[in-house]
Amino acid sequence: MSLSSADASVRTRVQIPLTFADGYTTTARAVTFDGLADGREHLALILGDPGATPLVRLHSECLTGDVFGSARCDCGPQLREAVERIAEAGGILLYLRQEGRDIGLYNKLDAYALQDSGLDTYQANTALGLPEDARDYTAAAQMLAALGVSELDLLTNNPDKPRQLTGHGLTVRDIVPTGVHSTPDNLRYLRAKAEHTGHTISLAG
């Protein structure tokens, strides 16, 4: 792989039982790493029985959505969906510490305030002098390589994720879309993702 000059290694593997608010339960094998390019504490959750070409999701951390159930985004429902689908198919969820498309929690909330005045999610970031999407998936590719994955099916609606992974030498065999988790509070956000960055999200109206 193209990452041979910056290899990461597995640090710890530990089993964690997971329980979600709707009662769904499963068991994950959590994996931590040494040597990741960005030095952050990203986490891999191995779910089910991964085969030679596992189902993989790159999920960027979203405190408001994942933990507090915010309806301003679709992150929490996507995380819940991904865990079950990956557990059934056998694969890996990479939980990446990239809050707010990697602009950070406080900046994300500043951007929310600008969205309340009429800007969309991308316009708000640029109005703050920040990138529309600052995420780099080098560490994600390193994590997969450390787990022995060179080919995968990717669970995503975001065309940038397979593009970046392919650039790091991984083979994305298939792109599997997630469900559409729309609410009155996140519809404008989802529409911006579909129209501005080509996310494969089908929205009515």
Q: Is the dihedral of CA 201, 111, 62, 21 positive or negative?
A: negative
Residue reference for tokens 């590719």? 141
Taking alpha carbons only, the member of 189, 41, 203 closest to residue 101 is 189
Q: Which two tokens stand for residue 89?
A: 């198919």
**Burial (0-12, 13-18, 19+ Cβ within 10 Å), 117:** exposed
Q: How far apart are CA 41 and CA 96, in angstroms?
A: 8
- Give the number of other Cβ atoms within 10 Å of residue 122's Cβ: 18
Catalytic annotation on 85? no
Say which DSSP state 81 is in. H
Catalytic annotation on 135? yes
Among 22, 133, 153, 163, the active-site one is 133
Among 102, 110, 135, 153, the active-site one is 135
Question: Which positions are annotated as active-site residues?
Answer: 133, 135
